[in-house]
Amino acid sequence: MELDFSRGVHYWWALLPEIVLCIWGMGVLIVGVSKRHRQSGEDATGDPTLSGAADLGWLALFGVLGAAFANGWLYGVHEVGSGGMIAVDRFRLFANWILLGAAALTILISFAYVYRQRLQAGEFYGLILLATAGMMFMAAARDLIVIFLGLEVMSVGVYALTAFNRRDRKSAEAGLKYFLLGAFATGFLLYGIALVYGATGSTNVAAIGASVSAGTATPGLLAIGIAMLTIGFGFKVAAVPFHMWTPDVYEGAPAPVTAFMSSAVKAAAFVAFLRVIVVAFPEADDVWYPIVWWLAALTMVAANLMALVQSNVKRMLAYSSIAHAGYLLVAITASNTNAAAGLLFYLLVYTLMNTGAFAIVIGVAHQAEERLQVEDYAGFGWAQPLLGVSLTIFLLSLAGFPGTGGFMGKIYLLQGAADAEQWRLAVILVLATVASYWYYLRIAWFMWMKNPAKPDQHALVVAPLPMQLALIVSVALVLYTGLFPSAALDFARASVAGLGALVP
């Protein structure tokens, strides 16, 4: 099928995955409201896989599945030209797989948490679906206005999810903090978009790129606009020095939401940022290159140093997520084919290993917000060998050990940096990785080498069926991408082909 965006109705087809997700999200909201009265009568000891809240979880999961089918269908669709507001290219579709995967994993690890914390399941899963649709709009956007609106749909949904746990004061505080700083960052992004429009006369990224390379853009406005855009994206991906909100928000938010924030939100922001950089501003690299270079270097160094001294596991994973944003910013500065493919590959692997690690953190915390210190993991590996081995694999992958997807991801990022002759950033990346071994392996050390404070400390840690599913998928894919990376990498490489002005 061919799509011609001069006919407005063809946007329906181009946006099919997003539309499926939005409609399904509204459906989950409505079903959630109509089931409310049944949920409240149940006792807390029931099986979380059978309660009323779980029905909504499975329903939401079917929505993600439907959007995934629509996404696969889009592979058979071609667009005429590339001037439309919505991109129908492989890059977007690969990003959609990552985002849908992150949403599916988040829903799977939320079942027991939502049940145990008595969250309003309809709104919880509905907001996850709608926020995911917002992220997919960002991945699809060829227009700065669509990027902004997608970012807002995503952010507003995630603000609400962050403050979702009404019984937890920390959750409310995190939600407010995230909302205020997020709104502030959005202001920067919007101001940047306005200035870029003033300089180039268009919000379409391809038209902006043409205007910049033709030299018709007003230089001063353009430079400030690009700087503001970079700051706006820097806030969303939590790059140092715009990371101040991250540790508190990640620590206070409900754990499944933290997993969702650190993987999906980051992936969406990076995908949109990469498209803007390589399509709109390849010729303006004298403006954004030094900014992004320093962001990458500062983020890698500072985040890893701060992660070293954390004793709360959620907070440690928050700093770890900031550090990973630094590694991914290296790919943005390189902006060549290898780096872009490496970025997609890394985002995919990062989503799997990060969500997997959070799944076990939720399990150890008894589906609540307790027992989050590193000491609470003492002896966990011997008490729950399967979960212990899984968490060890995720930690090794996050640290970047050979044989895991995280290692191959870092190799591809380094390859991209080497192609662009970014030796200093490459060296910082390697040194930062070595430093990160300490804090990841400290948890593994506690798990396997220490004795628990109480002998039956880990007896109550349960991983219900949906969480087991998520763990099996994550472990399998992390190992698969680590041992046989070529399939995923070739896929990523084919996905970035033809995207903007990537240096080969």
Nearest residue to 338 (alpha-carbon basis) of 224, 414, 416: 416
Q: 345 to each of 67, 156, 436, 477, 491, how far by Cα in Å?
A: 21, 27, 20, 12, 9
Encoded one letter per residue, x for contact with another protein by CB under 8 A and - for no contact, window 22-41 reads x---x--x------------
Of 59-67, 150-158, 362-370, 383-391, the window that binds another protein (rule: CB under 8 A) is 150-158
* CA dihedral angle for residue 231, residue 233, residue 236, residue 242, rounded to 10 degrees: -20
Using the rule CB under 8 A, is 106 a contact of another protein? no
> Residue 3, SS3?
strand
Name the residue type at position 338: N
Q: How far is the CB of 7 from another protein (least distance, A)?
A: 11
Using the rule CB under 8 A, is 128 a contact of another protein? no
CA dist., res. 152 & res. 14, Å (int) = 21
Options 54, 87, 156, 295; binder of another protein; rule CB under 8 A: 156
Q: How far is the CB of 156 from another protein (least distance, A)?
A: 5
Orientation of helix 219-237 relative to helix 266-275, angle to 10°: 160
Using the rule CB under 8 A, is 192 a contact of another protein? no
Distant-in-sequence, close-in-space partners of 414: CB < 8 Å, separation ≥ 6: 426, 429, 430
Q: How far is the CB of 218 from another protein (least distance, A)?
A: 5
| Closest CB to another protein among residues 153, 268 | 153
Is 210 exposed, middle or buried, given 0-12, 13-18 or 19+ CB atoms closer than 10 A?
Answer: middle
Q: How far is the CB of 250 from another protein (least distance, A)?
A: 19
| Closest CB to another protein among residues 126, 409 | 126
Using the rule CB under 8 A, is 492 a contact of another protein? no
Using the rule CB under 8 A, is 153 a contact of another protein? yes
Using the rule CB under 8 A, is 15 a contact of another protein? yes
Tokens 């953190």 belong to 361
Q: How far is the CB of 84 from another protein (least distance, A)?
A: 9
**Contacts with another protein in 193-252 (CB under 8 A)?**
197-202, 211, 216-218, 220-221, 223-224
Going by their DSSP bridges, the two strands 2-3 and 78-79 should be labelled as: parallel
| Closest CB to another protein among residues 55, 168 | 168
Q: How many residues bind another protein (CB under 8 A)?
A: 47
Is 309 exposed, middle or buried, given 0-12, 13-18 or 19+ CB atoms closer than 10 A?
Answer: exposed
| Closest CB to another protein among residues 218, 312 | 218
Phi and psi, residue 15, nearest 5°: -105, 20
* Residue-wise DSSP of 323-375: HHHHHHHHHHHH-BHHHHHHHHHHHHHHHHHHHHHHHHHHHHTTTTT---BGG
Options 65, 77, 149, 497; binder of another protein; rule CB under 8 A: 149
Q: How far is the CB of 148 from another protein (least distance, A)?
A: 8
CA dist., res. 279 & res. 386, Å (int) = 45
Task: List 79's β-bridge partners, or say none.
Answer: 3
Decide: 473 and 105 in contact? Cβ < 8 Å: yes
Of 8-16, 89-97, 100-108, 430-438, the window that binds another protein (rule: CB under 8 A) is 8-16
CA dist., res. 48 & res. 46, Å (int) = 6
Q: How far is the CB of 189 from another protein (least distance, A)?
A: 15
Neighbours of 31 (CB within 10 A): 17
CA dist., res. 6 & res. 84, Å (int) = 8
Tokens of 27: 């459906």
| Closest CB to another protein among residues 214, 453 | 214
Using the rule CB under 8 A, is 189 a contact of another protein? no
Q: How far is the CB of 102 from another protein (least distance, A)?
A: 18
Options 77, 85, 479, 503; binder of another protein; rule CB under 8 A: 85
Q: How far is the CB of 149 from another protein (least distance, A)?
A: 4
Of 141-149, 299-307, 363-371, 463-471, the window that binds another protein (rule: CB under 8 A) is 141-149
Using the rule CB under 8 A, is 159 a contact of another protein? yes
Nearest residue to 492 (alpha-carbon basis) of 206, 95, 54: 95
Q: How far is the CB of 326 from another protein (least distance, A)?
A: 24
| Closest CB to another protein among residues 156, 343 | 156
Q: Which residues bind another protein (CB under 8 A)?
A: 8, 11, 15, 22, 26, 29, 85-86, 120, 123, 126-127, 130-131, 133-134, 137, 143, 145-146, 149-150, 152-153, 156-157, 159-160, 163-164, 166-167, 175, 197-202, 211, 216-218, 220-221, 223-224
